[in-house]
Each structure stands twice: as structure tokens, then as C-alpha cells.
Structure 1
Amino acid sequence: MATIVMLGAGIMATALSFPASENGHDVRLVGTFLDREIVDSIQNTGVHPDLDLKVNDGVTAFQLEDAEKAFEGADLVMSGVNSFGVEWIGEQLATLMKPGQKFLCITKGMRAAEDGTLQLLPDTIRSYMTPELAESISWNAITGPSIAGELAVHHDTAVVFCGHDKDDLEWIADLFRTDYYHVWTSTDFVGHETGAATKNIYAFAAGFAEGLLKSQGKADNRYVMYNYGAALFAQGQKELRSFVTLMGGRPESADGLGGVGDMFVTSMGGRNVKAGTLVGQGIPFSEVRDQHMKGVTLEGVAAIKVIGKALGPLTERGVIKPEEYPLCRFLYSVVEEDAPLEIPWDKFFHDLT
């Protein structure tokens, strides 16, 4: 039996507790300062209020002030906080983790330096640790199409655990593998994590077609805009693959679960797609952000702001060409400048012959 500690008691961290606990492992959910009501609910009723499901036996919830107790004897540590809290996660884990532990990252996204250099979030977390501690930890991550609620109710879910050491990956994967949670492993850590970070960008664009139909009063029309959506999806996949290559990953990783698979499921719905739908209806993004979806966490928009902003400096430095990433550049203008929804079709698929 292994001891697994998840920092963050959100829906994805808790969903992952189901296969792990069903395999007989000791799972400890440590809430952040935002998770107090969730932890209270689990401690008092056993129910996660957002999932509306009872957690399994073998899963214990801890408030943040009890984190040190929860981390005692941990074999595997996981981060279950979204990209907005990655610096906080780094600060916490720098004091809570011990040499030789294995780490599995759920958090997706990137940070960028002033010169446009992009950094994966596990590397951001790592930067808060001493070099000695960071070098002793096995760094791994989960990528692929995984909706928390579906996983929690045992719908078939296929993912990739990526890292640097094949033996460590297989050991971690075996903690979670069940007849419904299907785990592959890959040592292309950079490629898969880049795909996981950039797919959120294009989920925002997935809402445009529905919004346009609504604005035209054609939402129930027989002829919808699948052609439009498919073209945006295809260009998004091209750019995702290019980002993987830019970051030093294997391009083919973009074509599997950690790339196009994850991009597909993220484009099916959720908060980012809803924001894109409102923009498609002709509402400026600043109004969407400040009125229609005020206070809502938008991972896709956050990715657009970080990565889209980095494209300018990267172009100026000659790292990328001006004609590369036209959809990402356009989406950046939508969220930063309230640019109208005029898709730059002629800039897409520029390498076709």
C-alpha cells in the first residue's frame, strides 16, 4: 500500500482519489485556504459538495493547517490547484516535500519571461525548491482527456502519465490503473505537458460557432457551423503541434491523448467554451470577463494571455516566424484588445502545398 497526498481538494484531485483508493492505497486530500468548506463537508459527511459524491473509504481530508501531518510518510505527492495558484503551490511544497519523494502534477499551464521564454508549470514549482531537494524528487505529470466527474463515476478515461524515468512512471501508473482508468506512460515530459498547457487556448475558440448562431437567431437551425468549428480545431491542432516542437518535445505527442485528445474534450464544453460563445454573440471579451463571467476561473484565457503575449518577443528574437501561430495571435487580440471576431482565415494552413 502506498500513501498518496494531494495538495488541493478540488474536483479533479478528488476524482483521482477514486481509482487510487479502490486499489487499496491511503489517499490524503489536503485542502487549500479556498477549500475549507469542501474539507469540512468530507470530514463531516464524506461527500465532496462539488462532485456531489461520497468519497471512498481510505480517503481522508485535512485542512491546510494539518498539512504537515498529512504529508508524513507520503510516497507520492500531487498538486491539485489550478494554474493561478502555481506559485503558492511551489511555496508550500518547498517546505512540505521530502528528498526522494515522487511528484505527480495535475496543474496545467505555462509562465513566460519578459523575453518570451516559456516555462512549464512543474518547472515553476521546482524553482521554489533548493537545487538539492529538486534534484532528489521524481517529476511526473498527468495529461490527456479527463473530465473529473466522468472519472469519479467510473466512465472509461484514457490518459498519459509523463515523466523522466520509465520505472518511476510505471510504479505511479500502477497505483491508479483500474478497469476504467486506463493509463499509458511516456518519457516525453515536455511534449505532453506542452500539449496539456496549450490545448486550453483553443477551447476558447470552440465556442465561437455557437455564439455566432445565437447572434443570428439560428441556434436551432438545421444547418449549423460544424465546418467553421472544424477549421478552427484543425488550425488549433497544427499550432499545438508546433508549440510541442518549439518547447523541445516530440511532435507526435501532440497527435495523441496528451494533445489532440485533450483538446477535443476541452472543446466540448466548460467555462472557456462558454466565454467563447459569448464573444461569438458579439460581446467584447472585457464585458464577458467583468460582467457575464465575473470571478469565474478561465484557464484557457489565462493560457492565451501568457502564451499569446510571449509570441511577440519570440518573434522579435527570431525564435518563431511572424506567420506562425495566427490563431493564437488572433485570440490574444480578442482577450487583450477586444478585437472583433474576424477570423484571419487567409493566415491559416500556410504550409500546405
Structure 2
Amino acid sequence: MATIVMLGAGIMATALSFPSSENGHDVRLVGTFLDREIIDSIQTTGIHPDLGLKVNDGVTAYQLEDAEKAFDGADVVMSGVNSFGVEWAGEQLARLIKPGQKFLCITKGMRADEDGTMHILPEVIRSYMDPELAESISWNAIVGPSIAGELAVHHDTAVVFCGENRDDAEYLADLFRTDYYHVWTSADFIGHETGAATKNIYAFAAGFAEGLLRKQGKADNKYVMYNYGAALFAQGQKELRSFVTLMGGNPETADGLGGVGDMFVTSMGGRNVKAGTLVGQGIPFSEVRDQHMKGVTLEGVAAIKVIGKALRPLTERGVIRPDEYPLCRFLYSVVEEDAPLDIPWDTFFADLA
């Protein structure tokens, strides 16, 4: 039996407690300062209030002040803090994680330096640790199309556990594999984490078609806009594959669960798609952010801001060409400059010209 501790008690971290606890492992959920009500609910009723489900026996919830107790003796440490809190998570883990533990990241996103150099989130977390400690940790992540609620109710879910060491990824995968949670492993750590981060960019664009239909009063029309949506999806996948290559990953990674598979499920709905739908209706993004979805965490928009901003210095340095990533560049103008929804179609699919 392994002991698994998760920093963050959101719906995905908690959903992952189902397969691992059903395999007989000791699972400990540690809430952040934003998770106090969630931990209180689990401790008193056993129910995660956002999932609306009772956690399994073998899952114990801890408030943040009891984190050291929860981390004591853990074999595996997981981070489920969203990308907006990755620096905070890095600070916490730097004092809580122990040499030799295996780290498993479930949060997706990136950070970028002023010169455009981009970093996956495990790399950001690692930067907060003493180099000797960081070197002793096994670094891994989970990627792939995984909606938390579906996983928690045992719907078939297929993911990839990736890491710097394939054997360690396989060890971790065995802790979670069940007859409904299907896990593959890969040593393309950077490629899978890049795909998982950049796919969020294009989920925002997935809402445009529905918004345009509503704006035109055609939401119930027989003829919708699948053609429009498919073209954006295809260009998004093309750019995702290019990002994986740019970061040094295997471009074929973009064609699997950690790339197009994850992009597909993220584009099916959720907060980022809702934001895109509102923009499609003609509402400037600044108004969407400040009024319609004030206080809502938008991971896709965060990815657009980080990665889209990085494209300019990367272009100026000659790392990428000015004609690369036209959809990402356009989406950046939408969220940063309230640019109108005038899709630059002629810049897409340049390799087909």
C-alpha cells in the first residue's frame, strides 16, 4: 500500500482519490487556504460539496495547518492547485516535500520569462526548492482528456502518466489503474505537459460559433456552424503540435491523449468555452472578465496571456517566424486588446498553400 498526499482539494484532485483509494492506497487531501469549506464538509459529512459525492473510505481530509502531518511518510506528493496559485504551491511544497518522494502534477499551464522562454509548471514548482532536494525528487504529471465528475462516477477515462523516468511513471500509473481509469505512460514529459497547457488556449475559441449563432438569433437554426468550429479546431491542433516541437517534445505527442484528445474534451464545454461564447455574441472580453464572469478562474485565458505574450519576444529573437501561431496571436489580441472577432482565416494552414 502506498501513501498519496494531494495539495489542493478541488474536484480533480478529489476525483483522483477514487481510483487510488479503490486500489487500497492511503489518500490524504490537504486543502489550500481557499478549500476550508471543502475540507470542513469532507471531515463532517464525507461529501465533497462541489462534486456532490461522498469520498471513499481510505481518504482523509486535512486543513492546511495540518499539512506537515499529512505529508509525513508519503510516497507520492501531488499538486492540484490551479495555475494561478502555482507560485504559492511551489513555496508550500518546498517546505513540505521530502527527499526521494515522487511528485505528480495535475495542474496545467505555463510561465514565461521576459525573453519569451516558456516553462512547464513542474519546472516552476521545482524552482522554489533547494537544488539538492529537487534533484532527489521524481518529477511526473498526468495529462489527457479527464473531466473530474466523469472520473469520480467511474466513466471510462484514458490518460497518460508522463515523467522524466519511464519506470517511475509506470509505478505511479499502477497506483491508479482500474477497470475504468485507463493509464498509459510516456517519457515525453515536456511534450505532454506542453500539449496539456496549450490546448487550453484553443478551448476559448471553441465557444465562438455558439456565440455568433446567438448574436444572429440562429441558436435553434437547423444549420449551425460546425464548419467554422472544425476549422478553428484544426488550426488549433496544428499550433499545439508546433508548440510541442518548439519546446523540445515529440511532435507525435500532440496527436494523442495529451494533445488533440485533451483539446477535444476541453472544447466541449466549461468556463473557457462559455467566455468564448460571450465574445462570439459581440461582448468585448474585458466586459466578459469584469462583469459576466467576474472572479471565475479561466485557465484558457491565462494560457493565452502567458503564451501569447511570449510570442512577440520569441519572434523578435528569431526563435519563431512572424507567420507562426496566427490563431494564438489573434486570441491574444482578443483578450488583451478587445479585438473584434475577425478571424484571420487567410493566415491559417500556411503549409497547405
TM above 0.5, yes or no, is yes
Over aligned residue pairs, what C-alpha RMSD do you find? 0.4
Matched to 1:169, the amino acid is A
Report the counterpart of residue 125 of structure 1 in structure 2. 125
Matched to 2:157, the amino acid is T
Distance apart, 1:167 and its partner CA: 1.2
Question: Secondary structure in 2 aligned to 1:295?
Answer: coil
Report the counterpart of residue 266 of structure 1 in structure 2. 266
1:317-353 C-alpha deviation (Å, 9 max, x unpaired): 0000000000000000000000000000000000115
Distance apart, 1:264 and its partner CA: 0.1
Q: Any unmatched runs of 5+ in structure 2?
A: none
What is the 5 A alignment of 1:149-228?
149-228=149-228
Report the counterpart of residue 12 of structure 1 in structure 2. 12
Determine the C-alpha separation between the residues in 1 that align with 2:225 and 2:77. Answer: 44
Determine the C-alpha separation between the residues in 1 that align with 2:348 and 2:80. Answer: 36
Report the counterpart of residue 343 of structure 1 in structure 2. 343
Distance apart, 1:66 and its partner CA: 0.1
Distance apart, 1:164 and its partner CA: 1.2
1:184-242 C-alpha deviation (Å, 9 max, x unpaired): 00000000000000000000000000000000000000000000000000000000000
Question: Secondary structure in 2 aligned to 1:279?
Answer: helix
Determine the C-alpha separation between the residues in 2 that align with 1:295 and 1:89. Answer: 20
Determine the C-alpha separation between the residues in 2 that align with 1:318 and 1:245. Answer: 16
- Identity across the alignment (%): 89
1:237-277 C-alpha deviation (Å, 9 max, x unpaired): 00000000000000000000000000000000000000000
1:73-107 C-alpha deviation (Å, 9 max, x unpaired): 00000001100000000000000000000000001
Report the counterpart of residue 76 of structure 1 in structure 2. 76
Report the counterpart of residue 317 of structure 1 in structure 2. 317
1:248 aligns with 2:245: no
- Runs of 4+ deviating beyond 6 Å: none
Please report the TM-score for the alignment, with normalisation by the length of structure 2: 1.00
Report the counterpart of residue 104 of structure 2 in structure 1. 104
What is the 5 A alignment of 1:57-72?
57-72=57-72
Please report the TM-score for the alignment, with normalisation by the length of structure 1: 1.00
Report the counterpart of residue 40 of structure 1 in structure 2. 40
Question: Secondary structure in 1 aligned to 2:51?
Answer: coil
Determine the C-alpha separation between the residues in 2 that align with 1:253 and 1:337. Answer: 32
Determine the C-alpha separation between the residues in 1 that align with 2:220 and 2:127. Answer: 51
Question: Secondary structure in 2 aligned to 1:86?
Answer: helix
Matched to 1:196, the amino acid is A
Determine the C-alpha separation between the residues in 2 that align with 1:117 and 1:170. Answer: 30
Matched to 1:329, the amino acid is R
Determine the C-alpha separation between the residues in 2 that align with 1:165 and 1:299. Answer: 28
Determine the C-alpha separation between the residues in 1 that align with 2:24 and 2:289. Answer: 43
Determine the C-alpha separation between the residues in 1 that align with 2:222 and 2:166. Answer: 50
Matched to 1:344, the amino acid is P
1:115 aligns with 2:143: no
Determine the C-alpha separation between the residues in 2 that align with 1:170 and 1:300. Answer: 29
Determine the C-alpha separation between the residues in 2 that align with 1:15 and 1:219. Answer: 34
Matched to 2:102, the amino acid is K
Q: Any unmatched runs of 5+ in structure 1?
A: none
Question: Secondary structure in 2 aligned to 1:351?
Answer: helix
Question: Secondary structure in 2 aligned to 1:159?
Answer: strand
Determine the C-alpha separation between the residues in 2 that align with 1:161 and 1:84. Answer: 23
Determine the C-alpha separation between the residues in 1 that align with 2:325 and 2:4. Answer: 39
